[in-house]
Amino acid sequence: MKNMAESERNRALLKKRFPDLGERIAVLSGIGGVEVVETKGGDFVPAVTTGDRRGFVHSRFDPAKEAERFIGVIDAAAYDLFIVFGFGFGYHVERLLDGMGGDSIALVIERDPRMLKAALEMRDLARVLGDERLILLLDPGEDEIANALKGKSSRRSTLILHRGSFQTDPDYYGNVQGIVKSYLSTKEVNIATLAKFEKAWASNIARNIGTFTGSPGAGAFYNAFTGVPAIVAAAGPSLHQSIDFIRANRNRAVIIAVDTSYRILRKRGIDPHF
């Protein structure tokens, strides 16, 4: 451990900003698997051995200069949401926070809790952890990633893959990157759809409001069909294969159709109940 006071301050800040992470780190008994090496300049960098390969997560010569070059190629003014894959010992994250705007957000995803624990013990990360623009996730699931990105779809985002972290577990970071890309692309499609159809939706709602307010609502059907079979008709190849079956049982079951299958059923002389 480099400095007990710095380490305690780091842990206190982590627990204050990210209580769940603070608890997870507190119960770790050590940093097994993460080797800490001191550079000639007095900095500390982690090394991880995978199989017979020992790899440094940051430069073993000058991690601060490496981070400056790495982040320096990013046009910080062009974005206000930076999604970083890999925290390591935080050299690149520190440089990113220095260069990005005051209302920007840095969302950092780290896989290994031992890596984070080692970073807390070996570096003064008070400025990084105390920065309100930082969101730090530790081995998050899809729901946690979605929650962290919720409400940020309108931001100008860029993905930053930290090579040293990626090399410690390519499969993990590749998978997480795919999850984030999928979430962001879905949001982009939703926003584009809203922009295209919002006027039509508003117009249709206004035209149908009288019918809506005069209708009894879904509650009128609760328990109304107890014991009655139901056929849920979705669109797709299976619908065409099931037309005869649906027609034969239209008076024996409740038929529920999605919007795309409704027209197909009507053309075949079948009137869905819902």
Whether 41 is covered by a domain: the verdict is no
pLDDT at residue 208, rounded to an integer: 84
Residue 28, phi-psi category: left (phi > 0), alpha (psi -120 to 50), beta (remainder): beta
pTM beyond cutoff 0.75 = no
- Out of 189, 213, 235, pick the residue that ends a domain: 189
| pLDDT at residue 27, as a whole number | 95
pLDDT the model gives residue 223: 85
Domain holding 68, by residue range, is 4-30+63-189
Q: Could you tell me if 71 and 176 lie in one domain?
A: yes
Is 73 among the domain residues?
Answer: yes
What is the pLDDT averaged over residues 236-244? 79
Structural contact between residues 186 and 194, judged by C-beta atoms closer than 8 angstroms? no
For residues 23 and 117, membership in a common domain is answered with yes
Does residue 25 lie in a domain region? yes
Residues 9, 128 share a domain = yes
* Pair (118, 249) in one structural domain: no
Q: Return the minimum-mean-pLDDT range out of 56-60, 106-110, 133-137, 220-224.
A: 220-224
The pLDDT, as a whole number, for residue 38 is 96
pLDDT of 199: 75
* 234 domain-assigned: yes
Instruction: Tell me, yes or no, whether 246 and 114 share the same domain.
Output: no
Q: Give me the pLDDT at residue 2, please.
A: 66
- Which has more pLDDT, 182 or 1? 182
**85 and 128, same domain (yes or no):** yes
Strand bridging mode 105-110 / 254-257: unpaired
Confidence tier at 189 by pLDDT (50, 70, 90): low
Confidence at 260, pLDDT banded by 50, 70, 90: confident
The b-or-e profile of 103-137 (16+ CB within 10 A means b, else e) is ebbbbbbbbbbbbbbbbbbbbbbeebbebebbbbb
233 and 134 within one domain: no
Per-residue pLDDT tens for 1-20?
567 899 999 999 999 999 99
Tell me if 213 is assigned to some domain: no
Query: Do residue 239 and residue 146 come from a single domain?
Result: no
Out of 86-95, 212-221, 246-255, the most confident range is: 86-95
Task: Give the chain's mean pLDDT.
Answer: 90
Total structural domains within the chain: 2
Q: What's 77's DSSP letter?
A: G
In a domain, 185, yes or no: yes
The span from the CA of 8 to the CA of 120, in Å, is 8
In a domain, residue 37? The reply is no
Residue 204 forms part of a structural domain:
no
Q: What is the pLDDT of residue 96?
A: 98
> Do both 154 and 229 map to the same domain?
no
pLDDT digits (tens, 9 = 90+) for 69-98: 999 999 999 999 999 999 999 999 999 999
Q: What percentage of the chain reaches a pLDDT higher than 70? A: 94
